[in-house]
């Protein structure tokens, strides 16, 4: 097959979907998708890309997020290849999955809930980030609180910090780096409006890698964003699940906790979060990532990453 290349790139293209792919400000876990794929040797392109230009014609790749619901998959016009996504519980269980192929899912509760084979690989691909994309991390030691995106403007940042007992509030929504003047005035105006509204609540919207470094260098992370918890675990930063009056899809949190083999406790303050971490959370363990990496649905082009997949101690 003649693999067409994206502009300025020599990487083969893979059709992929992630939440917020066309938005000017994107949830941090979702925006990591194209970078993870780039590290494997691919360029992530939208669902609208022609079959003749992608290495997965007639299909669409799902990498990160709780997308295994009829509602989410209804947005995609192709059968899906699932690598590391999770579910949101029995009430939103996936239906009509005859053409879906499951290579890996986020955790054991997703696998059991979807009646997948016991040998299906487990793990969230974001756990691979520190090994696939080396970053210079400077420990700053501050404690941070990260609300879920739906709760971002439920209160001012200063009040959230005070109630949680943390040094800083970090937004899980980050700037899309590909947005430029070429994106069009309407999209730029939308982003400007979003940033202004959030600034009125004392919320600073950062770039993707600035936010990753803030999380990776923190002394403790109190988070209502699941992928911020995954990032913290990946970088060895203590964390706890944050409940500010609303928890998005509790089954995805228990699925994550089951992957780590710990009992989850939802907490409202840094003090309670530290207590959970000391007594329970610190016992959580990332499983071998080799099975997850080896089950990537397509050939891993990057030779250094390919060698990692063959390392049983990885």
**What's the pLDDT tens digit per position in 41-99?**
999 999 999 999 999 999 999 999 999 988 888 888 899 999 999 999 876 666 556 78
Q: Are residues 171 and 56 part of one domain?
A: no
* C-alpha–C-alpha distance, residues 236 and 231, integer Å: 9
- CB-based contact 201:147 (threshold 8 Å): no
Is the residue at 240 inside a domain? yes
| Owner of token pair 């390919």 | 306
Name, in order, each residue with C-beta under 8 angstroms of 142's C-beta and a sequence gap of 6 or more. Answer: 166, 167, 168, 218, 219
Q: Is the pLDDT of residue 8 over 50?
A: no
- CB-based contact 146:171 (threshold 8 Å): yes
Q: Are residues 271 and 172 part of one domain?
A: yes
**Mean pLDDT within 222-227:** 98
Q: Are residues 261 and 175 part of one domain?
A: yes
Q: Are residues 165 and 115 part of one domain?
A: no
Is the residue at 110 inside a domain? yes
Is the residue at 2 inside a domain? no
Cβ atoms within 10 A of the Cβ of 276, count?
A: 20
At residue 110, the pLDDT reads 95
At residue 5, the pLDDT reads 35
Cβ atoms within 10 A of the Cβ of 183, count?
A: 15
Q: Are residues 106 and 68 part of one domain?
A: yes
Between the CA of residue 60 and those of 44, 100, 104, 286, what are the distances in Å?
11, 10, 15, 27
Name, in order, each residue with C-beta under 8 angstroms of 285's C-beta and a sequence gap of 6 or more. Answer: 260, 261
Residue 152 structural domain: 143-283
What is the tally of structural domains in the chain? 2
Q: Is the pLDDT of residue 182 over 50?
A: no
Q: Are residues 217 and 298 part of one domain?
A: no
Is the residue at 4 inside a domain? no
Report the share of the chain in percent with pLDDT over 70.
Answer: 91
At residue 25, the pLDDT reads 86
At residue 284, the pLDDT reads 98
Is the residue at 41 inside a domain? yes
Q: Are residues 229 and 147 part of one domain?
A: yes
Q: Are residues 180 and 97 part of one domain?
A: no
**Mean pLDDT within 224-249:** 97
pTM, rounded to two decimals: 0.92
Q: Are residues 125 and 67 part of one domain?
A: yes
Q: Is the pLDDT of residue 256 over 50?
A: yes
Q: What number of CA atoms fall less than 13 Å from residue 44's CA on the CB side?
A: 21
Q: Is the pLDDT of residue 307 over 60?
A: yes
Is the residue at 8 inside a domain? no
Is the residue at 239 inside a domain? yes
**Mean pLDDT within 248-275:** 97
Beta bridge partners of 13: 43
Minimal CA–CA distance to 47: which of 78, 73, 71? 78
Q: Is the pLDDT of residue 183 over 60?
A: no
**H or E stretch at 17:** strand 13-17
Confidence of residue 191 (pLDDT cuts 50, 70, 90): low
Q: Are residues 207 and 76 part of one domain?
A: no
At residue 22, the pLDDT reads 77
Confidence of residue 2 (pLDDT cuts 50, 70, 90): very low
Q: Are residues 172 and 155 part of one domain?
A: yes
Q: Which of 107-111, 186-190, 248-252 has the lowest mean pLDDT?
A: 186-190
Q: Are residues 194 and 96 part of one domain?
A: no
């Amino acid at each position: 097959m003649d693999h067409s290349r994206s502009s300025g790139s020599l990487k083969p293209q893979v059709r992929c979907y992630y939440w917020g792919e066309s938005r000017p400000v994107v949830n941090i876990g979702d925006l990591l998708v194209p970078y993870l794929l780039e590290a494997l040797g691919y360029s992530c392109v939208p669902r609208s890309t022609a079959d003749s230009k992608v290495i997965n014609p007639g299909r669409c790749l799902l990498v990160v997020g709780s997308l295994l619901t009829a509602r989410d998959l209804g947005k995609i016009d192709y059968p899906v290849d699932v690598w590391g996504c999770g579910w949101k519980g029995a009430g939103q269980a996936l239906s009509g999955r005859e053409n879906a192929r499951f290579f890996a899912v986020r955790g054991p509760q997703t696998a059991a809930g979807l009646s997948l084979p016991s040998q299906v690989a487990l793990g969230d691909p974001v756990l691979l980030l520190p090994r696939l994309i080396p970053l210079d991390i400077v420990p700053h030691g501050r404690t941070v609180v990260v609300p879920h995106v739906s709760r971002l403007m439920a209160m001012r940042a200063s009040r959230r910090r005070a109630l949680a007992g943390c040094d800083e509030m970090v937004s899980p929504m980050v700037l899309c780096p590909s947005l430029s003047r070429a994106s069009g005035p309407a999209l730029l105006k939308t982003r400007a409006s979003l940033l202004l509204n959030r600034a009125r609540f004392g919320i600073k919207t950062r770039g993707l890698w600035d936010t990753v470094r803030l999380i990776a260098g923190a002394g403790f992370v109190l988070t209502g964003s699941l992928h911020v918890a995954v990032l913290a675990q990946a970088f060895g930063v203590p964390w706890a699940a944050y409940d500010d009056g609303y928890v998005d899809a509790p089954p995805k949190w228990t699925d994550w906790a089951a992957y780590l083999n710990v009992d989850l406790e939802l907490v409202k303050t840094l003090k309670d979060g530290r207590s959970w971490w000391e007594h329970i959370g610190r016992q959580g363990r990332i499983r071998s990532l080799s099975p997850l990496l080896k089950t990537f649905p397509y050939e891993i082009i990057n030779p250094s990453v390919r060698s990692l997949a063959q390392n049983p101690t990885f």
